[in-house]
Chains A and B, each alone.
Chain A
Amino acid sequence: MSEEILTVENLKKYFVTKQGTVRAVDKVSFSVKQGETCGLVGESGSGKTTIAHTLVGIYEPTEGRALFKGQNISKVFNQRPKALKKEIRIVFQDPGSSLNPRRSIKQILELPLKVHRICNDSDRVERVMELLRMVELPPEDYMYKSPQVIGGGEKQMVAIARALAPNPSFLVLDEPTSALDVSVQAKIINLLMQLQQNLNLTYLFITHDLSLMRNITNRVVIMYLGKISEVAPTVEFFQNPFHPYTKMLLSSIPTVSDEEENFKPKEVISRGEIASPVNVPSGCSFHLRCPQKMEICSRADPTVVEVEADHLVRCHLFSDGRKPT
Chain B
Amino acid sequence: MAKYIISRLLQSLFVLFGLSLLIFFIARVMPGDPARVALGSLATHEQVQNFREEMHLDKPFPVQYYFWLRSLLRGDLGKSLYTRRPVTTDLKAYIPATLELILISFIMSLVIGQVTGVLAGYFRNSWFDGLSRLISYIGVATPAFAVAIFFLLFFTYTLNLAPAVGRLSLAAVPPPRITGFFILDSVIAGKFGTALEGLKHIFLPAASLAVANIAQEGRITRTSIAENLQKDYVIAHTVYGIPRWSILFKYLLRPSLIPTVSVMGLAFAYQLSNAFLVELVFMWPGFSRYAVTVMLNKDLNAIVAVVLVIGVAFFLVNVIVDIVVSFLDPRIRLQRTGG
A, B bound: yes
Which residues of A pack against B, CB within 8 Å?
18-19
Minimum distance in angstroms from A15 CB to a CB of chain B: 15
By a CB distance below 8 angstroms, the chain A residues around B339 are 19
How long is the Cα–Cα vector from A53 to B339 in the complex, in angstroms?
27
By a CB distance below 8 angstroms, the chain A residues around B338 are 18-19
4 pairs, CB–CB < 8 Å, chain A vs chain B: A18-B335, A18-B338, A19-B338, A19-B339
By a CB distance below 8 angstroms, the chain B residues around A19 are 338-339
**Interface of A, helix, strand, loop or mixed by DSSP:** loop
How long is the Cα–Cα vector from A18 to B339 in the complex, in angstroms?
9
**Interface of B, helix, strand, loop or mixed by DSSP:** loop
Closest Cβ neighbor of A18 among chain B residues: B338
How long is the Cα–Cα vector from A18 to B335 in the complex, in angstroms?
9
How long is the Cα–Cα vector from A18 to B337 in the complex, in angstroms?
9
Closest Cβ neighbor of A20 among chain B residues: B338
Closest Cβ neighbor of B339 among chain A residues: A19
By a CB distance below 8 angstroms, the chain A residues around B335 are 18
Minimum distance in angstroms from B337 CB to a CB of chain A: 9
By a CB distance below 8 angstroms, the chain B residues around A18 are 335, 338
Closest Cβ neighbor of A19 among chain B residues: B338
Minimum distance in angstroms from A37 CB to a CB of chain B: 38
Q: Residues 309-339 of chain B: 1 if any A CB is under 8 Å from the residue's CB, otherwise 0?
A: 0000000000000000000000000010011
How long is the Cα–Cα vector from A239 to B338 in the complex, in angstroms?
45
Closest Cβ neighbor of A17 among chain B residues: B338
Minimum distance in angstroms from B106 CB to a CB of chain A: 34
How long is the Cα–Cα vector from A235 to B338 in the complex, in angstroms?
45
Minimum distance in angstroms from A16 CB to a CB of chain B: 12
How long is the Cα–Cα vector from A193 to B50 in the complex, in angstroms?
90
Minimum distance in angstroms from A99 CB to a CB of chain B: 27
Report the 4 A-B pairs with minimum CB-CB distance, sorted nearest first.
A18-B338, A19-B338, A19-B339, A18-B335
Closest Cβ neighbor of B338 among chain A residues: A18
How long is the Cα–Cα vector from A13 to B339 in the complex, in angstroms?
23
How long is the Cα–Cα vector from A19 to B337 in the complex, in angstroms?
9
Minimum distance in angstroms from A18 CB to a CB of chain B: 4
Minimum distance in angstroms from A17 CB to a CB of chain B: 9
Minimum distance in angstroms from B175 CB to a CB of chain A: 51
How long is the Cα–Cα vector from A125 to B304 in the complex, in angstroms?
61
Minimum distance in angstroms from A137 CB to a CB of chain B: 34
Closest Cβ neighbor of B336 among chain A residues: A18
Minimum distance in angstroms from B40 CB to a CB of chain A: 59
